[in-house]
Amino acid sequence: MKPELPPNVVCLPRTNQLEALLTIIRDKDTNRGDFIFYSNRIIRLLVEEGLNHLPVVEKTVTTPTNTEFEGVSFKGKICGVSIMRAGESMEQGLRDCCRSVRIGKILIQRDEETALPKLYYSKLPPDIDDRYVLLLDPMLATGGSAIKAIEVLLAHEVKEDKILFLNLVASPEGIEAVTKKYSQLKIVTASIDKGLNDKKYIIPGLGDFGDRYFTLP
């Protein structure tokens, strides 16, 4: 039996469609074109699930039949922030769901001397403190880069409970590291894998997502 997830972690339902999509992108023989196409389909599912967790307010509109309809609209503004470079693969999926959405970027790399994640670059919307933030990164391995990116957002006065971290594949170790430090944000993932190997790669995983999406043939 799988351990119960923390209340702030959401895993997409294990439908036949999702299982098939994940199988394709995990296959080392999948060519780059197919990897991009089927990854984009999963990203779209992730974004749509993430939007389900944003708060709404009641809104009444008038339909073309001159009838009032009591519906809802999103409460507050949103933006996306991608952890470069792999996270940039998820930007179009967000744009497909949210018209004219603002996108910020954060570049974090491992410091060769300390082996710790180090911030090299960030460009965020000036009013990000007033927005709900969808943090984008396909892989959650150790959680180091994610934690550093969240620190950057908090330093820009983004409220922790207004952060949704979207990723395709997560490790239990990464989930534990992030949720132990930040209990108010929400993680939305497509798959929680077995764990990390001795090189800190996700197992079974799908390899280097950024390489497969952007550069490999």
Q: Active-site positions?
A: 110, 114, 208, 211
Q: Residue 102 pairs with which residues in a beta bridge? A: 79
Chain centroid to Cα 156, Å, comes to: 19
For the chain, the residue count is 217
Q: Quote the CA–CA distance of 70 and 108 in Å, as a whole number.
A: 44
The three-state secondary structure class of 27 is coil
Burial class of residue 157, CB neighbours in 10 A (0-12, 13-18, 19+): exposed
Residue 37: both structure tokens together: 């196409």
- Give Dmax over CA atoms of the chain in angstroms: 67
For residue 59, give the H/E element and its range: strand 56-62
Q: Quote the CA–CA distance of 175 and 180 in Å, as a whole number.
A: 8
CB 106 within 8 A of CB 137: no
